[in-house]
Amino acid sequence: MTEILVQAGVEGKVPPVGKVVDHPAWPVLKDAVEQIRPWQAKDGSIDFGAEGAPDPSDAELAVRRVVDAVEELSPLLPHDAAYHQALVKDLRRWADEGFAVPDFLDSLLAFQPAAHREDGLQHLVVFPMYTQNGNPDRNLEAVVLRMVWPDWLAELERTRYDNPLFCGITFEDFTAGYDTNSAVLFPETIAVRQAPERFSWGGIFCDREAARFRRVTEAAVDILGLELPDDIREMVSDQDRCQQAFVLWDMVHDRTHSHGDLPFDPFMIKQRQPFWMYGLEELRCDLTAFREAVKLEADGFSQGRDVQYAVLFDRMFRFPVTGDRVRNYDGLGGQLLFAYLHKHDVVRWTDNKLSIDWQRAPQVTNRLCAEIEQLYRDGIDRPKLVHWFAGYELVSTYLAPHPGSRWAKGPDALDLTQPPRKLVDDVLPDEFPLSMFYEALSKKLRHVIASTRGITAESTQRVAA
């Protein structure tokens, strides 16, 4: 490191490296993390008695390489100095204590990205963690990210959509746990001895969301013969516009989980509910973002129109046919939105072509949002089980339940002497199967959706080139 500093011209000063990933210490750190990951068990520990386990000295050497690389890179990121100091201590303690279940609570508490929401600000993040919709094990991961916080978004957050914990972010580079479908960085995924009393940030990678949205939407539009308005076609082809749409959508969606007439705790973290209730909650948050986007478009924000069609297309084209059919609540929400718009003649599938009534789409979509909000408002005065049945009735009005469903037969088909959480076991894994339309679309989009694994804005640019 000293040699690099001398070459930079001023010994003791940080070399003029614009991007963390361009610094020679980054590939060293990344390689060391990738060396450690296969040695770890599901809980993040290393069992040196297991088959294929390393010699303890090799594990210690790999951690030293991570520590040295973090210490080299940290001067590039003075806003993360306290976090990197705590990180180094956590890494060394993990090694000193024999690589038991990792505990990175101290470094988690020191990492405060929401306190420095500055557009373009870089962060180097290293934690033992699972990646949501990615790797389920708490492996060591390293990711370099950049904050997305343009002035127009900061002003909307300050004046209309207060969300002090939200971080819009993009990838610079990452280890294997993010070479997946994961598009979030959440503190609750990190290995700690005890959960903090409250989390102080949450990050969503708008570049990955935008890139996979574009790829799937372009394929779906082609397969379905959908004619897009010129401005929406231009938006789908523009990565930067889509990223702006997604960061706004995410910010409004995220805050909606704790706003409104809620008959449950925010995010439903402490409740076991049938998966259609989670599907309705996620859809409520998306449709709230849609409704706000209609208002923003009327107020002159160009991003407002883009958000509307990002919500419609991602929900209708990607969500229903992504992932397996076991309690797929996001898929259910997408099916419900399509079916609602189809029932109200906003979307039509005729002569093997999809058409959308672009003028009526906003008002009818907002009506579905209003129906879900009324369900919630009424739910405040209902027992839990009655509320679940009301949610089932709303969904089954538009989606056909599985013919073998006990819930579809009504309360008399269930053992109501059991507590509600036990009745969740009577829910079929695929309570609302795909329609024939979506079964056919799923087959045609399967390879396209698989190709979005690990996608970033940079990878879409390479494909385009």
Cα separation of the two ends of the chain: 36
User: Residue range 375-395: average pLDDT?
Assistant: 96
Domain encompassing residue 148: 2-200
Residues 171 and 251 in one domain: no
Span 267-275, mean pLDDT? 73
236 shares a domain with 372: yes
Question: Three-state SS across the chain?
Answer: CHHHHHHHCCCCCCCCCCCHHHCCHHHHHHHHHHHHHHHECCCCCECCCCCCCCCHHHHHHHHHHHHHHHHHHHHHCHHHHHHHHHHHHHHHHHHHCCCCCCCCHHHHHHCCHHHHCCCCCEEEEEEEECCCCCCCCCEEEEEEEEEECCHHHHHHHHHCCCCCCEEEEEEEEECHHHCCCCCEECHHHECCCCCCCCCCCEEEEHHHHHHHHHHHHHHHHHHHCCCCCHHHHHHHCCHHHHHHHHHHHHHHHHHHCCCCCCCCCHHHCCCCCCHHHHHHHHHHHHHHHHHHHHHHHHCCCHHHHHHHHHHHHHHHHHHHHCCCCCCCHHHHHHHHHHHHHHHCCCEEEECCEEEECCCCHHHHHHHHHHHHHHHHHHHCCCCHHHHHHHHHHHHHHHCCCCCCCCHHHCHHHCCCCCCHHHHHHHCCCCCCCCCHHHHHHHHHHHHHHHCCCCCCHHHHHHHHC
Question: How many domains is the chain partitioned into structurally?
Answer: 2
The tens digit of pLDDT for each residue in 5-36 reads: 333 333 334 344 579 999 999 999 999 999 99
Q: Specify the pLDDT at position 3.
A: 35
Mean pLDDT of 178-204: 96
Q: Are 365 and 337 in contact (CB under 8 A)?
A: yes
Whether 98 and 226 map to the same domain: the answer is: no
Give the C-alpha distances (Å, rounded to integers) separating 45 from 35, 49, 55, 186, 373: 14, 12, 14, 21, 44
- 418 has a pLDDT exceeding 90: yes
Q: Answer yes or no: do 125 and 219 share one domain.
A: no
| Confidence class for position 270, pLDDT limits 50, 70, 90 | low
171 with 220, same domain: the answer is no
- The one-letter amino acid at 370: A
Whether the Cβ atoms of residue 36 and residue 62 lie closer than 8 Å to each other: yes
> What does the pLDDT average to over 114-142?
97
193 and 269: one domain? no
Average pLDDT, the chain: 93
Kindly state whether residues 162 and 247 are assigned to the same domain.
no
Domain finish residue from 178, 200, 222: 200
Residue from 44, 190, 216, 49 nearest 131 by CA:
190
- Looking at the fold, whether 362 and 339 belong to one and the same domain comes out as yes
Same-domain pairing of 11 and 88: yes
Q: Is the pLDDT of residue 437 over 90?
A: yes
Query: What is the pLDDT averaged over residues 433-450?
Result: 97
Say whether pLDDT at 167 is over 80: yes
When pLDDT is cut at 50, 70 and 90, the band that residue 264 belongs to is confident
pTM value is 0.93
Shared-domain flag, residues 82 and 160: yes
- What pLDDT is stored for residue 461 in this prediction? 58
Same domain, 223 and 92: no
pLDDT, tens only, 212-261 = 999 999 999 999 999 999 999 999 999 999 999 999 999 999 999 999 99
